[in-house]
């Protein structure tokens, strides 16, 4: 079952404060907010999407800011760290910038020969920026970071698992190949992907399961090009014994979800139709967009959703 997955599509996490979340991802990290919408199941909560200029799959970090949730507890069965790609030689820029912005948890690290800078977002969420040579993807330079140091998209993510075996088999089924092992971390990579091609697995047999809350990743989504590819992938996963949801229309992509044997919630999302479905590229993210079934709530939502103050 190889050849359909194109790398990551998006990573979706939980936070508390929509305004602080927006400030961190647009100002501190220089991403573009490409869509301002609400959670399909809980329309009183935003769904905020940050990425490159067009919200290209493989660049999109998304958040559900639930105003009253408590912090999650990091553990196994979840995404442990989400990693962005930046050009070689730019980590010093990022260290200086994140320090000036008061970002916590700054730590230099080296993994499989990649230089990276680890840090925490506003709810303690674990991220890293890695220097990747020759990443051909264009960065969004129309926002807070106009220079060559800007983020190109995801490099990938690390999954923290108690028992990695079944998830390793699943990744191979999805087209990933084992690349290397270092300090107990096993690296998987996809050939012919969108650039967000790395999944690292950290096996921690004695660490308790994570508890979902602010700062936790809710799910990680992998990209397929088309609806036909998604249906083929869905059938293959079901045939392999996975319990997969029906196709769900998320307005900007179609989604299927399944809980992996290691506990992480995986989604497979289509590259079509994309974030320009209901807004021109020049104005992505500016207006509050509502799923059709929640449009009747617009007047209430426009006065009750927390204010998001865009910062230069
Ligand atoms: Zn998703």
Condensed to tens digits (0 to 9), the pLDDT of residues 272-305 reads 999 999 999 999 999 999 999 999 999 999 999 9
Q: Is the pLDDT of residue 183 over 80?
A: yes
Query: What is the pLDDT, as a whole number, of residue 27?
Result: 97
Of the candidates 86, 106, 95, the residue with the CA atom closest to the CA atom of residue 149:
86
Residue 312 counted as domain residue: no
Q: What CATH code is carried by the domain that includes residue 295?
A: 3.10.180.10
Strand partners, 4: none
Q: Is the pLDDT of residue 312 over 90?
A: no
Burial class of residue 279 in the structure, from the number of CB atoms within 10 Å of its CB (0-12 exposed, 13-18 middle, 19+ buried):
middle
Residue 145 counted as domain residue: yes
Residue 156 counted as domain residue: yes
Residue 256 counted as domain residue: yes
Residue 84 counted as domain residue: yes
pLDDT in tens, 221-276: 999 999 999 999 999 999 999 999 999 999 999 999 999 999 999 999 999 999 99
Q: Say whether 27 sits in a helix, a strand or coil.
A: helix
Residue 197: CA atoms inside 13 Å, Cβ hemisphere, count? 18
Query: What is the pLDDT, as a whole number, of residue 311?
Result: 80
Residue 310 counted as domain residue: no
> What total of structural domains would you count in the chain?
1
Residue 1 counted as domain residue: no
Average pLDDT over residues 140-164: 97
Average pLDDT over residues 183-197: 96
Domain that holds residue 276: 8-304
Cα of 303 to ligand 1 centre, how many Å?
Answer: 26
Q: Is the pLDDT of residue 309 over 70?
A: yes
Residue 239 counted as domain residue: yes
Cα of 49 to ligand 1 centre, how many Å?
Answer: 10
The set of residues, in sequence order, having a beta carbon less than 8 Å from that of 267 and lying 6+ positions away, is 9, 12, 219, 220, 221, 222, 255, 256, 257
Cα of 256 to ligand 1 centre, how many Å?
Answer: 9
Q: Is the pLDDT of residue 3 over 90?
A: no
Average pLDDT over residues 34-49: 97
Average pLDDT over residues 62-90: 97
Q: Is the pLDDT of residue 2 over 70?
A: no
Cα of 221 to ligand 1 centre, how many Å?
Answer: 6
Average pLDDT along the chain = 97
Q: Say whether 209 sits in a helix, a strand or coil.
A: strand
With a pLDDT cut of 70, the percent of the chain lying above it is 99
Q: How confident is the model at residue 1 (pLDDT cuts 50, 70, 90)?
A: low
Cα of 267 to ligand 1 centre, how many Å?
Answer: 6
d(CA 165, CA 254) in angstroms, rounded, equals 29
Q: Are 258 and 240 in contact (CB under 8 A)?
A: no
Cα of 41 to ligand 1 centre, how many Å?
Answer: 13
- In this structure, what token pair is assigned to residue 209? 């399961």
Distance of CA 176 to the CA centre of its chain: 18
């Amino acid at each position: 079952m190889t050849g359909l997955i194109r790398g990551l599509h998006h990573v979706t996490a939980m936070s508390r404060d929509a305004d602080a979340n927006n400030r961190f991802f647009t100002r501190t990290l220089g991403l573009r907010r490409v869509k301002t919408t609400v959670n399909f199941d809980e329309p009183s909560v935003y769904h905020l999407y940050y990425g490159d200029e067009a919200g290209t799959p493989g660049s999109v970090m998304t958040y559900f800011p639930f105003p009253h949730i408590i912090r999650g507890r990091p553990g196994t069965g979840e995404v442990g760290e989400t990693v962005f790609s930046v050009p070689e030689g730019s980590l010093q820029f990022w260290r200086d910038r994140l320090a000036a912005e008061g970002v916590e948890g700054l730590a230099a690290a080296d993994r499989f020969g990649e230089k990276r800078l680890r840090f925490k977002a506003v709810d303690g969420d674990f991220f890293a920026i890695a220097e990747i040579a020759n990443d051909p993807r264009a960065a969004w330079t129309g926002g807070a970071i106009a220079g060559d140091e800007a983020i190109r998209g995801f490099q990938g993510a690390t999954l923290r698992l108690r028992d990695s075996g079944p998830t390793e088999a699943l990744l191979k089924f999805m087209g990933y190949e084992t690349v290397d092992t270092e300090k107990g971390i096993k690296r998987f990579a996809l050939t012919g992907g969108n650039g967000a091609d790395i999944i690292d697995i950290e096996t921690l047999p004695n660490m308790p399961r994570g508890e979902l809350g602010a700062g936790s990743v809710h799910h990680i989504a992998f990209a397929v090009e088309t609806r036909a590819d998604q249906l083929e992938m869905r059938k293959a996963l079901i045939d392999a014994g996975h319990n997969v949801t029906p196709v769900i229309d998320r307005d900007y992509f179609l989604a299927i979800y399944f809980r992996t044997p290691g506990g992480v919630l995986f989604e497979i999302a289509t590259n079509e139709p994309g974030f320009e479905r209901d807004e021109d590229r020049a104005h992505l993210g500016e207006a509050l967009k509502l799923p059709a079934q929640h449009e009747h709530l617009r007047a209430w939502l426009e006065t009750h959703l927390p204010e998001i103050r865009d910062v230069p």
